[in-house]
Amino acid sequence: MSSIKGPAAPDAKFDGSPLRIAIVHSRWNKTVIDALVTGAVTKLREQGVKDSNIVIQSVPGSFELPLACSKVIAGSHVQAGATATDLLGGLYLGSFTSPRPPSRSSTPAPALVNMPSQPFDAVIAIGVLIKGSTMHFEYICDSVSHALMRVQLDTGVPVIFGVLTALTDDQALDRAGLGRGAEKGHNHGEDWAAAAVEMASHTRRWTEGKF
C-alpha cells in the first residue's frame, strides 16, 4: 500500500520567473543539508526562478535560522530601495539651500551596479535536527518552529519550514533522498521549493486584493 503522506498537486501551475527567493540553511548535519539545498535549488529552477534571484545564506545551526531569516528579509528591502549611487556614496544629501560641493573633474564617475530591484518573495529555512541523548533536541525543535512562524507573520513574507526533526540518522537521510537501503527516500527540499513558489505567488495576489 502506498503512503497517503505528502502534498496534493496544486490547482494551478505557478510561474517562478518574477520571484526572488532566499534559502537560509544551517551547517549541522552537512551531508543531509547539502542534499536538501541542492534539491530546493533544482526545483526552484524547474519552476522558472532565475539563478540571479536565488540567494543562499548559511548559519551555524537551526537555532540561528529565525534571526537570519528576519534579517535577510529586512536586508532585501534595503537592497530594493537603494540605488547604485546610494550604495557607492555618490548621492548629495545636502539641503536645497546648501551649496553643492565643488566637483572634481579628475574623479571618475561611479560605475553602475546591477542592484536587485525587489525584496524576497519567500524564504526557505533549512535545518536538520536529529535527536540525541538529552532534551536539547526538543527545546530547539519547539523554539525554532515558533520563531520561524513569528517571522513570517511579522514580515508578511512566507517562510517555508524546511527543518527536519528526525529521531534517527536514517530518518534524516531518507528525507533528503539519501536512504541507505534500496529505497533512497524523497528529497524534501524539492517540496519546500515548490511551496515557496506557490506561497510567494499567492501572497503577491492577495496583497493586491486578488482572490
Cα–Cα distance between 14 and 110 in angstroms, integer? 39
Strand partners, 119: none
- Tell me which residues are annotated as active site: 136
Residue type, 19: L
Query: From the centroid of its chain, how far is CA 8?
Result: 23
Cα–Cα distance between 134 and 152 in angstroms, integer? 30
